[in-house]
C-alpha cells in the first residue's frame, strides 16, 4: 500500500541497501506544507437509546448507589474525560427517527413513556433527555451532536427543537427551556438531519430524501449568531455511491455542511460470529471489511470532489465499528458484545484511514460508547471496565487537531488460505509544539514485522513509544480481570544512521512519539 508518495530516489536506494538482507517494511514520514489538519472530531463517539448504552450504562439515576453526577456515572465521566472525546452523538441511530424531543424535557415524573420499537421493544421512560445529554457534554468538554428526528417528525417540531436549544430568550421555546431549569442556550453546532433515511429513517430514495433534507435545512436557524450550524445530511449505506451523488448534486451548498457515511466491520457471510470465540477465518474476514473503509472513503470523496472542489463539505463517518453476535444470554435487541484484540485492530486501522483522509473526513463517531457494539466502556452493576478499543482511542488522541504528515511505505501481506491483506497500517502527525506521532498497526495474526522508520528532516532527536498487544487474538478485559489488556511502554527502539528500527508483534498497535 502506498500513501502520498514523497520519497526521493536517493533515500530509497540508501534504505534498500541498508535493509536488503532483512525482512523489513520501510516507512518514510515527511512534512508537506499543503497537508491538512487532522480534525479532533474524527475521534467522536455515539450514544443511542439502545440496550444498556444509556440506562444501566451512562445513566443510573441520581438515587443510584453508583457514584454519579446528575445521574451519570462518575467513573464513566472520568474515563471519557481521559479519552478527550471531542463530540458525542445522541439519541440515535434508528432511535432518533422515532424520538420526540418534547417527551424528554420537563419534570421527569410527568414525562410520557414510549416503546423502543427498534431495540428490544422495551419501554422508554424518557428520564434521560435533552437537558441531561447537553449538560453531560458540558461536563465532558465535548461538542454535542444532535441527531434529530426527520422520519416521524415535522418541520415544526424539528425547528422548535433548534429554537429550544439555541435561542437566548423571548421565544416560546426559549422561555420553556428556562422554565425547565436552563437559563442559557447550549449553543449546539452539530445537527444530524435524520438518520439512515435509506432504511430505518423512512426507506426513502436518495432523490426523495434530498428534497426532504432541503426543506428541513431551510428552516434551521442559528439563533446564537455564532459561526453557523453544521448540518449533516443522512448519508450513504456503505458503497451506495448513488446516494452521495444525489445529495451532492441536488442539495445547494449553502444548505449543507456535512454528508454522513455508515459502515460496519463484520464477518462477510450470514453468521456474524461470536465477539470472543472466533476463528482466524472470521478474523480475516472481519479485517477485510474493516480495511474496505479506505476504498469507501476514497470513492465517496471523489464524488464529493466533483461537486465540491473547494472541499467545503465534510464527509462524516458517524457510525463505524465491529458488529458481531450478542453475548450469549443477553437480549438480542441490546447488541451487547465483548471487545477483544480484534476490535483494537479495527480501531487502529480505521483511525489511520481517517487520519490519512483528513482533507475530506472531518468527523467520525465510533458505535457505541457504552455496552453496545464496539464500546469503549462496559458496565455490570457497580463494575466498569475499559476495553482494548478504549485504549487505542486514547493512544491515538495525540493526533487530534495535529497536522497530517504523509507517509510512504509498501506493506507486507497477511496471508490466509490463498487471500492477502496489507498487514501494516500507518498514519502520522505533527502538533503545534513540533512533536511527531506515528501510529502503526500490525493485523497479522501470526507474524511480527520489522519496521524501519525514517523521520529525516522532522527534527526528531529521540523516540519513545506505547504499545497495545496481548498473547492471544481473542483476549479481552473481563470484569474479573479488567486490566488484562492495557498499553505498555515500548522501549525496544533502535536508532541507526537516522533510521528507527522497531519490531511490531502480531496483532499490535504502537504509537511512537518523536521529540
Evaluate whether 42 touches 36 at the Cβ level (below 8 Å): no
**3-class secondary-structure state, position 493:** coil
**3-class secondary-structure state, position 489:** strand
pLDDT for 3: 45
- Paired with 496 in beta bridges are 499
- Is the bond preceding residue 177 a cis peptide, omega within 30 degrees? no
pLDDT for 60: 97
CATH of region 39-401 = 3.20.20.80
CB count, 10 Å around CB of 76?
23
Mean pLDDT of the chain: 94
Calculate the CA dihedral of residues 366, 318, 396, 372 and round it to 10 degrees.
0
pLDDT for 2: 39
Question: How far apart, in whole angstroms, are the C-alpha atoms of residue 206 and residue 197?
Answer: 8
Nearest to 249 by CA among 195, 294, 211, 299: 211
Contacts of residue 14, defined as CB under 8 A and 6 or more positions apart, other chains included, come to none
Total-model pTM: 0.94
CATH 2.60.40.1180 applies to domain 9-35+405-514: yes
pLDDT for 14: 40
What would the grid cell of residue 290 be? 474493516
Give the tens place of pLDDT for each residue, 54-99: 999 999 999 999 999 999 999 999 999 999 999 999 999 999 999 9
pLDDT tens string for the chain (515 positions)? 434 433 333 344 344 444 433 589 999 999 998 999 999 999 999 999 999 999 999 999 999 999 999 999 999 999 999 999 999 999 999 999 999 999 999 999 999 999 999 999 999 999 999 999 999 999 999 999 999 999 999 999 999 999 999 999 999 999 999 999 999 999 999 999 999 999 999 999 999 999 999 999 999 988 775 678 999 999 999 999 999 999 999 999 999 999 999 999 999 866 789 999 999 999 999 999 999 999 999 999 999 999 999 999 999 999 999 999 999 999 999 999 999 999 999 999 999 999 999 999 999 999 999 999 999 999 999 999 999 999 999 999 999 999 999 999 999 999 999 999 999 999 999 999 999 999 999 999 999 999 999 988 888 989 999 999 999 999 999 999 999 999 999 988 998 888 999 999 999 999 999 99
Query: Which CA distances in Å does 186 have to 57, 143, 161?
Result: 24, 10, 12
Question: How far apart, in whole angstroms, are the C-alpha atoms of residue 338 and residue 371?
Answer: 9
- Paired with 377 in beta bridges are 370, 386
Nearest to 148 by CA among 163, 159, 133: 159
Question: How far apart, in whole angstroms, are the C-alpha atoms of residue 500 and residue 513?
Answer: 12
Question: How far apart, in whole angstroms, are the C-alpha atoms of residue 370 and residue 50?
Answer: 10
What would the grid cell of residue 126 be? 424518557
Q: How far apart are the first and last CA of the chain?
A: 27
Residues with active-site annotation: 196, 319
Question: How far apart, in whole angstroms, are the C-alpha atoms of residue 38 and residue 361?
Answer: 9
Per-domain residue ranges for the chain? 9-35+405-514, 39-401
Please give the helix or strand (H or E) that residue 510 lies within, else none. strand 508-514
Amino acid at each position: 500500500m502506498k500513501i502520498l508518495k514523497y520519497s526521493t530516489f536517493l533515500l530509497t536506494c540508501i534504505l534498500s541497501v541498508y535493509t536488503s538482507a532483512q525482512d523489513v517494511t520501510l516507512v518514510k514520514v515527511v512534512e508537506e506544507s499543503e497537508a491538512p489538519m487532522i480534525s479532533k472530531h474524527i475521534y467522536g463517539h455515539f450514544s443511542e437509546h439502545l440496550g444498556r448504552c444509556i440506562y444501566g450504562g451512562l445513566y443510573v439515576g441520581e438515587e443510584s448507589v453508583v457514584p454519579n453526577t446528575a445521574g451519570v456515572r462518575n467513573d464513566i465521566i472520568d474515563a471519557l474525560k481521559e479519552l478527550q472525546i471531542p463530540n458525542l452523538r445522541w439519541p440515535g441511530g434508528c432511535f432518533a427517527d422515532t424520538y420526540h424531543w418534547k417527551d424528554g424535557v420537563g419534570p421527569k415524573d410527568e414525562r410520557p413513556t414510549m416503546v423502543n420499537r427498534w431495540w428490544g421493544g422495551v419501554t422508554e421512560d424518557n428520564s434521560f433527555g435533552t437537558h441531561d445529554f447537553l449538560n453531560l457534554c458540558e461536563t465532558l468538554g465535548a461538542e454535542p451532536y444532535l441527531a434529530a428526528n426527520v422520519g416521524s417528525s415535522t418541520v415544526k417540531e424539528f425547528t422548535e427543537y433548534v429554537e429550544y436549544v439555541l435561542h437566548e430568550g423571548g421565544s416560546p421555546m426559549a422561555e420553556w427551556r428556562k422554565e425547565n431549569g436552563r437559563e442559557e442556550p447550549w449553543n449546539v453546532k452539530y445537527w444530524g438531519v435524520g438518520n439512515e433515511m435509506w432504511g430505518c429513517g423512512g426507506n426513502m430514495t436518495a432523490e426523495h430524501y434530498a428534497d426532504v433534507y432541503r426543506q428541513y435545512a431551510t428552516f434551521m436557524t442559528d439563533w446564537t449568531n455564532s459561526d453557523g450550524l453544521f448540518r449533516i445530511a443522512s448519508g450513504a449505506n456503505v458503497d451506495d455511491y448513488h446516494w452521495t451523488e444525489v445529495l451532492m448534486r441536488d442539495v445547494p451548498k449553502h444548505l449543507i455542511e456535512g454528508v454522513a457515511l455508515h459502515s460496519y466491520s463484520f464477518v462477510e457471510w450470514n453468521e456474524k460470529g461470536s465477539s470472543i470465540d472466533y476463528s482466524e477465518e472470521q478474523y480475516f474476514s472481519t479485517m477485510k471489511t474493516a480495511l474496505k473503509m479506505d476504498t469507501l472513503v476514497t470513492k465517496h470523496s471523489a464524488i464529493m470532489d466533483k461537486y465540491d472542489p473547494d472541499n467545503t463539505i465534510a464527509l462524516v463517518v458517524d457510525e463505524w465499528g465491529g458488529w458481531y453476535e450478542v453475548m450469549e444470554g443477553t437480549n438480542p435487541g441490546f447488541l451487547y458484545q465483548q471487545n477483544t484484540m480484534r476490535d483494537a485492530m479495527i480501531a487502529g486501522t480505521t483511525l489511520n484511514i481517517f487520519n490519512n483522509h483528513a482533507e475530506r473526513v472531518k468527523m467520525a463517531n465510533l458505535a457505541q460508547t457504552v455496552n453496545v457494539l464496539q464500546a469503549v466502556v462496559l458496565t455490570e452493576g457497580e463494575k466498569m471496565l475499559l476495553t482494548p478499543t478504549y485504549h487505542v482511542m486514547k493512544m491515538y488522541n495525540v493526533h487530534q487537531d495535529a497536522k497530517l504528515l504523509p507517509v510512504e511505505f509498501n506493506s507486507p501481506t497477511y496471508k490466509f488460505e490463498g487471500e492477502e491483506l496489507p498487514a501494516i497500517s500507518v498514519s502520522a502527525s505533527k502538533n503545534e509544539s513540533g512533536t511527531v506521532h506515528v501510529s502503526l498497526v500490525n493485523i497479522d495474526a501470526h507474524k511480527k514485522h520489522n519496521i524501519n522508520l525514517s523521520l529525516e528532516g522532522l527534527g526528531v532527536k529521540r523516540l519513545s513509544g506505547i504499545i497495545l498487544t496481548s498473547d492471544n487474538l481473542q483476549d479481552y478485559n473481563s470484569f474479573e480481570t479488567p486490566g488484562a489488556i492495557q498499553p505498555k511502554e515500548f522501549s525496544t527502539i533502535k536508532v541507526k544512521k537516522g533510521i528507527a528500527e522497531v519490531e511490531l508483534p502480531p496483532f499490535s498497535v504502537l504509537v511512537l512519539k518523536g521529540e
